[in-house]
Amino acid sequence: EPEVTQTPSHQVTQMGQEVILRCVPISNHLYFYWYRQILGQKVEFLVSFYNNEISEKSEIFDDQFSVERPDGSNFTLKIRSTKLEDSAMYFCASGSLRAGGNEQFFGPGTRLTVL
């Protein structure tokens, strides 16, 4: 069964460093998403991406964040200058055109630790 994959599973970085979190969505999906979950808190929407552009973003998704689909298979989230409060689990999700993008399949997450 196809699944969303994410790398790395755990990333440790120093405050102020740039990080890139990688996701490989399910191959025939056209809608892509990033969510984050700070430890012990609810899952929060960051951004959605369709047709090579951001379709929606939350107030969390400020200028420090960017997303890209560099090669038609990967979907990346970049944090330019990490802050301590960026420490969280980051989930990538994808959805199919057939379902209108309504059903989202989540990856296993990347745990980001900012020191």
Partner 1 sequence: AQTVTQSQPEMSVQEAETVTLSCTYDTSESDYYLFWYKQPPSRQMILVIRQEAYKQQNATENRFSVNFQKAAKSFSLKISDSQLGDAAMYFCAYRGYNNNDMRFGAGTRLTVKP
For residue 64, the 8-state DSSP code is T
Closer to partner 1 by CB, 58 or 76: give it: 58
Burial of 73 (0-12, 13-18, 19+ CB in 10 A): exposed
* Residue 45 engages partner 1 in binding (rule: CB under 8 A): yes
Site track for partner 1 across 66-85, x = CB under 8 A? --------------------
Asked if 102 touches partner 1 (CB under 8 A), the answer is: yes
- Category of 40 on φ-ψ map: left (φ > 0), alpha (ψ -120 to 50) or beta: left
44 binds partner 1 (CB under 8 A): yes
Q: Which is nearer to partner 1, 82 or 104 (CB)?
A: 104
Interface with partner 1 (CB under 8 A), residue total 27
Distance CA 86, CA 83 (A): 5
C-beta separation of 109 from 21 below 8 A:
no
In angstroms, what is the minimal distance from the CB of 74 to partner 1?
19
Instruction: Say whether residue 105 binds partner 1 (CB under 8 A).
Output: yes
